[in-house]
Structure 1
Amino acid sequence: MSKDADEQKLPLTTLTAMVVGGMVGAGVFSIPRNFAQATGIYGALIAWAIAGAGMLMLAFVFQTLANRKPDLDAGVYAYARAGFGPYVGFFSAFGYWASACVGNVSYWILIKSTLGAFLPVLGQGNTVVAVAISSAGVWAFHFLVLRGVREAAAINKIVTIAKVVPLLLFLVLTIFFLKPDVFVANLWGGSAGDYGNLFEQVKSTMLVTVFVFLGIEGASNYSRLAQRREDVGIATVSGFLGVLALFASVSILSYGILPRTELAQLRQPSVGGVLEAAVGHWGAVFIGAGVIVSVLGAYLAWTLMAAEVLSVAAKRQDMPAFLAHENANQVPSSALLMTTLLIQVVLVATLFSDDAFTFALSLCSHLSLIPYFLSAAFALMLVFRKETYEKDPGDLGKDAIIAILATVYTIFLLFAGGTKFLLLGFIIYAPGTILYYITRKELGKQLFTPAEWILFGVAVVGCLVGIHGLVTGYITI
């Protein structure tokens, strides 16, 4: 191995920062309001328990696959392809990439919305001025990443530390200023003892928890750059557990500062409103600065992930060959350019949306669930086939339980989100198949197998139904 190649290898601390950096972004700063609109403390505790258990199973899935399939690079894409063929692999790679791009747009909207509290010209983040400033930022990050994966990842590690500090201070201050009477009054989201309503409250928080945990697969996506293969699994699980504790604490402690009705009406980022109620206006300003640092760090992490997955898909001949090109710094420059261009297009489109931020978050979450589901299903497939378990059959039972729970959890979330985002997802997936067509033509290979024709047909029908829904107003964005 050359010295330059060895220098590109990422240590455990950097891999863990990729996981934490991917998850600690916009979502955590919106938690108090989002949870208060749906439930009280009891419902929040149940929701975090369910989401934590489900996402922990996914973390274990990524850990298991990283150890049992060390030859598979780029995480979610590679697992889907290995388990279900090239077209499903393309679906996973394309959907994951589109999800990252849509999520990145939401980051810029939140930054400008945060600044909009002080600079009215930025509004809610989707005014002409806000989009122009965001566009400049998008291209600045593009040229930063072109300098090298390791350099960008090292910057992300520094940013991750910087953005966690304001949240830790938030926890300390909310504990100090917590009002026991307010906390007790917020125990139930509705009438005390109304367990039926409690179930509905928990259900309504599920997609909120999905968004805040997006990025759990961050280390798996860079498995080929890890100094030690086992570090991928360690980084995934340890990073997740730390983030879960942070997110749950932010949501629960907020209930001890303001009544639930007031929490539900806070301006986003609502963490700033909670701290302002506790310590004064400087709290909102302090959190606002933290939001900007946090979101820029998450943007960097997701840009790296998106370009990496698209590039590896091209190298595996499931995307057009031009996307596999790398520059002298080993950065997938063509994939990065395509990523930046899509972000730019969606950013401009937010000018015509009434609630661009919420819509972007919801669509981002749903697009990510399909790659997650395929990864869990691949782990389940390995168990049923007993593949890679020849030397240690004793792990079969444990891994089977993990894979089943992770698969059921992701299926539940796909349907919990409703048909709206399933159809909107097909509107993105079906046209994206054009890239797959170009790839197969380049290779001179058969376009689809019979099963893949069926999948393509489902995507086309879903796309047409979704477009019809948008035209008739049945689906709104």
Structure 2
Amino acid sequence: MSTEATQKFSLLTLSGMVVGSMVGAGIFSLPRTFGLATGPFGAVIAWCIAGGGMYMLARVFQSLAERKPDLDAGVFAYAKEGFGDYPGFLSAFGYWIGSCIGNVSYWVLIKSTLGGFFPVFGDGNTIVAILVASVGIWLFHFTILRGIQQAAFINTVVTVAKIVPILAFIIILFFFFKLDLFRANFWGGEGMPEASLLRQIQATMLATVFVFIGIEGASNYSRYARTRADVGKATIMGFVGVSALMVLVTLLPYAVLTRPEIAGMSQPSMAGVLSAVVGPWGAVFISIGVIVSVLGAYLAWSLVCAEVLYVAARTNDMPRLFGTENQNKVPAAALWLTNIVVQLFVISTYWSQDAFALMLNLTSAMSLIPYFLVAAFGILIARRAESYDVIRPQERKRDLTIASIAAIYTIFMIVAGGMKFVLLSALLYAPGTLLYFWARREQGKQIFNTTVDWVIFAAAVIGCVAAIAGLSTGYLTI
């Protein structure tokens, strides 16, 4: 997309991109997700870990936006600059494919929401649900093809509209707050399987990553910002506001229902909680909010997916085809590939036991590797003291500490998510490397430049083979 032909985004618009990207399917599923895993005490610890780690990551994005203003392609540009072409490609591909899978989760949640009123949609992965979702995919596709500015305006409007039911949910639950019930649930409550505190917290980890995905929304569109400082401000503003909403949505249900009741809710569980408190209209109210919110998030992430693939192609990390634009300055080829992939994943949900949970966890797993590379690049910049001789040199040690904590957090999250999702990630990374081969051949370049590149590729292939073997034998399930 030509920057010259495109209006610059204000701080408010960039903040809206962060909020719009983060507030989607995940927040409406939090009560049941946490209710299945833990009580308020475990939830508080989980949010402290997740919020602390993601805050550090947000600070890394903020710092890099100022210290490396020339790297305006977002997440993957940092990986390429710091670690080479192939890691940069993997970061771009992982972020892109993870975002595609996240878009699939949105359609599953919309259809499972409708399933509460129309049984034909079931849990969001029936044949009818898949057909309706497919229609929606291509309606959005052709809307976006009409222009990026139109889509960004729609995103801003939807972002405001979807916050209203979430705030209403919080206010109503505050009004019905029962301290005795909250105390009874605090350490885990009764009627749920016994589990250690560590196990309880671990069970929430990928869910917390999922709801924080989008924190880099302003960074993805940094080249459209009026000033570079707005990118960092928008990132922190969006993070703080959305974090407060997510913690309240998680904890307040424990004060109106028992933990087994919360755990037994169908998704979106926010609707079930409000319905139990105020009656059936509560489910209708939240369900409308879910559909508006998720459609808005889907729009935002469709833009992100196309932008990542487009910019990667323009910087020779993806085949040139995906760096082309239509007459409306929209990366049409990138958008076509994105929605074809989304369509294929939507079809695949028919065979999934819990389609929403699978897509949520897999999205998180795919996003963690790009996030780790961003944190690692932050460490690299601070250790080399790049830019610190001219921009606030006293912040070097602080930034090194922040980036190190962010890197440790992402590694912890990858481990906590479990080997299943590491292998499923490899199942996507290995064949995805074919796009890298295609791009390198176009440029007449050697496929891999270093031994490290070969080692990474070999690890991806081994993981892919292991995943295929696990799925074929039933060791891994979807």
Q: What is the TM-score when the length of structure 2 is the normalising length?
A: 0.97
- 1:434 equivalenced with 2:434 (yes/no): yes
Seq. identity, % = 57
Q: Is the 8 A contact 2:101 2:362 kept in 1?
A: yes
CA distance in 1 between counterparts of 2:376 and 2:206 reads 20
Q: Is the 8 A contact 1:87 1:452 kept in 2?
A: yes
Aligned counterpart, 1:227: 226
Aligned counterpart, 1:417: 417
Aligned counterpart, 1:37: 36
CA distance in 1 between counterparts of 2:150 and 2:7 reads 9
Alignment of 1:155-166 (within 5 A): 155-166=154-165
TM-align CA RMSD: 1.4
SS of residue in 1 equivalent to 2:255: coil
CA distance in 2 between counterparts of 1:72 and 1:432 reads 24
Aligned counterpart, 2:264: 265
The one-letter amino acid paired with 2:396 is L
Aligned counterpart, 1:335: 334
Q: What is the TM-score when the length of structure 1 is the normalising length?
A: 0.97
Structure 1: which 5+ residue stretches go unaligned?
Answer: none
SS of residue in 1 equivalent to 2:8: coil
Alignment of 1:451-470 (within 5 A): 451-470=452-471
Aligned counterpart, 2:374: 375
Alignment of 1:93-104 (within 5 A): 93-104=92-103
CA distance in 1 between counterparts of 2:121 and 2:196 reads 39
Aligned counterpart, 1:475: 476
Displacement after TM superposition at 1:390 (Å): 1.2
CA distance in 1 between counterparts of 2:269 and 2:246 reads 13
Q: Is the 8 A contact 1:366 1:425 kept in 2?
A: yes
Change in CA separation of 1:241 and 1:5 when aligned onto 2, cut-off 3 Å? same
Q: Is the 8 A contact 1:25 1:298 kept in 2?
A: yes
Alignment of 1:439-454 (within 5 A): 439-449=439-449, 450-454=451-455
- 1:60 equivalenced with 2:59 (yes/no): yes
CA distance in 2 between counterparts of 1:31 and 1:355 reads 16
SS of residue in 2 equivalent to 1:37: helix
CA distance in 1 between counterparts of 2:160 and 2:448 reads 46
CA distance in 2 between counterparts of 1:180 and 1:416 reads 32
CA distance in 2 between counterparts of 1:246 and 1:185 reads 23
Aligned counterpart, 2:303: 304
Displacement after TM superposition at 1:395 (Å): 0.9
Displacement after TM superposition at 1:7 (Å): 4.6
The one-letter amino acid paired with 1:133 is V
The one-letter amino acid paired with 2:459 is V
The one-letter amino acid paired with 1:87 is Y
Structure 2: which 5+ residue stretches go unaligned?
Answer: none
Displacement after TM superposition at 1:97 (Å): 0.7
Displacement after TM superposition at 1:205 (Å): 1.5
Aligned counterpart, 2:359: 360
- 1:216 equivalenced with 2:215 (yes/no): yes
- 1:178 equivalenced with 2:173 (yes/no): no
The one-letter amino acid paired with 2:220 is N
Q: Is the 8 A contact 1:189 1:198 kept in 2?
A: no
Displacement after TM superposition at 1:352 (Å): 2.2
Displacement after TM superposition at 1:5 (Å): 2.9
CA distance in 2 between counterparts of 1:399 and 1:348 reads 44
Aligned counterpart, 1:73: 72
How many corresponding residue pairs? Answer: 472
The one-letter amino acid paired with 2:395 is D
Change in CA separation of 1:294 and 1:196 when aligned onto 2, cut-off 3 Å? closer
Q: Is the 8 A contact 2:189 2:258 kept in 1?
A: no
CA distance in 2 between counterparts of 1:276 and 1:90 reads 46
Q: Is the 8 A contact 1:26 1:107 kept in 2?
A: yes
The one-letter amino acid paired with 1:402 is I
Moved over 6 A (4+): none
CA distance in 2 between counterparts of 1:425 and 1:196 reads 28
